[in-house]
Amino acid sequence: MGKKIPLGIAVSAALVTAAVTVSLTYVYAMDKFNSKVADINERQAMYTKLSEIDREVRQSYAGTINEKKLSDGICAGYIAGLGDTQGKYLTAEKYKEYLNSSGSKNIGVGIRTVRDSDGNMEVTYVMPNSPAEKAGVKKGDVVISMDGEEIVRITYGEAINRLDGTKGTTVVLGILRNAETSNNAKAETQKLSITVTRGEYVRNTLQSSMINGNAAYIKISEFKDSTSDEFTSALSALIKKGAAGIVLDLRSNSGGSVGSAAGILDTLLPAGDTVRYKDKDGKITTQYTSAANEIDLPVSVVVDKTTFGAAEIVASDIKDFKKGMLVGEKTAGYGKKDEAVPLSDGSAVIISTADYITLSGKSVSDAGVEPDVVKALTEKQKELLDRDGLKEADDPQVQAAVSALIRQGADIKEVSGSTNKG
């Protein structure tokens, strides 16, 4: 039997324990209080500083103040100050456009571009039946100005934003185009001015073909609301043609609709949680699951540092479910859950509210998603890929993905043969 503890000692011990508990609670509460006070003081200092700037500007500024533009600029600056990669302030007009852009249809010009060595916009793709195509813009054109302003002065990012806009408005593109010549003649450069009337166009986010004889190749550049249905339709058509495996190319994928990405995962994976996120308080929520209807084909996913957001979720799930192999390079490492929060005047802010996590509980944003097979492109191959000029048959990462299908048991007809478009 244990020794009896005198009542007095027991009471004293209890009182000491209680005192320690109260003290610790008090210290913790004071730390929280002081932290809150510090936050309040910092916010007050921010508001005071902004008030000082406003007072000085209104007393001394020699120019004309556009109140709406000023207000929008302050709001945009606040969000920019968060350092949130995807954080954005949307004016009321831009927010309406944002709400309408979740599907496949957009309002704007309808081109994809890359930044060239001079800081201008090289057109890599013109959307079929888009305003740009109707106006005569061609792949390979270099946009050097917009409404008379040089792209290098606007900045490339702002120029991209200006391509989209209100239906019926126009934008004048200053273009450099290499003239068509005979094989031996030196190409001459034409300087053109093309006026494009912004309008509705369908943004193609998915391309599909049969490569290496019987491998289904599907490239997704962005997840729009319609992408999941497009994927199902494209895959079904390729399976009917005898596809022995699937190469899913997620390079240069900017993310987008997580719901659409989850729809694709539902097609590829067995039953289980596919999309989970952890909020700022550590609470884990399952956003999407897959049903028990996985496709009976091996899968290879091509990824690199331009594989972003929702595309990283797709890649990590296929890897974690052991459904397929990842080929290429580590992904971007941006797995934030973004939410558009409407404001009272019709504007909105987009902010990150949680971290998407893998099946093992790791944040996608911590280190990106590592490939199973590391394969890099040369600088020349990267340039060709950016300009949609690298054929699948000549693409080392795509061909490594085909080899990965073979390792998974796929009976591929042409290991390194030419591409047969389907």
- Look up residue 241 and give its DSSP letter: T
Query: Is the backbone of residue 132 left (phi > 0), alpha (psi -120 to 50) or beta?
Result: alpha
Residue 182, pLDDT above cutoff 60: no
Of the candidates 239, 272, 365, the one whose C-alpha atom is nearest the C-alpha of residue 313 is 365
pTM over 0.85: no
Percentage of residues in the chain having pLDDT higher than 70: 86
Whether residues 359 and 220 share a domain: the answer is: yes
- For residues 279 and 402, membership in a common domain is answered with yes
**Which of 177, 202, 227 is where one domain is finished?**
202
Q: Summarize the confidence of residues 47-56 as an average pLDDT.
A: 90
Tell me: pLDDT of 15 over 50.
no
Number of domains in the chain: 3
d(CA 132, CA 34): 58
CA–CA separation, 395 and 392 (whole Å): 5
Q: Which domain holds residue 292?
A: 206-407
Q: How confident is the model at residue 185 (pLDDT cuts 50, 70, 90)?
A: low
294 against 102, higher pLDDT: 294
Q: What is the pLDDT of residue 258?
A: 95
* Phi, psi at 90, each rounded to 5°: -115, 125
CA end-to-end distance (rounded Å), the chain = 84
Q: Are residues 224 and 357 in the same domain?
A: yes
* Residues 160 and 273 reside in one and the same domain: no
Return the CATH number at 160.
2.30.42.10
Question: Which amino acid is present at 418?
Answer: S
Residues 354, 212: one domain? yes
What CATH number corresponds to the domain at position 302?
Answer: 3.90.226.10
User: Is residue 19 over pLDDT 50?
Assistant: no
pLDDT of residue 187: 66
Last residue of a domain, one of 144, 172, 202: 202
Written as six digits, the tokens of 210 are 């049969």
**What's the mean per-residue pLDDT of the chain?**
86
Same domain, 175 and 243: no
Whole-number pLDDT of residue 189: 86
Among residues 161, 185, 202, the one where a domain terminates is 202
- Please calculate the CA angle 169-174-176 and round it to the nearest 5 degrees: 145
**pLDDT (tens digit, 9 = 90+) per residue, 74-103?**
998 888 888 887 788 999 988 887 787 655
User: Do 374 and 286 share a structural domain?
Assistant: yes
- Residue by residue, DSSP assigns 337-349 as EEEEEE-TTS-EE
The answer to whether residues 292 and 324 belong to one domain is yes
Determine which of 26-30, 75-79, 89-93, 181-185 has the lowest per-residue pLDDT on average: 26-30
Do 308 and 333 fall within a single domain?
A: yes
- pLDDT for 181 equals 54
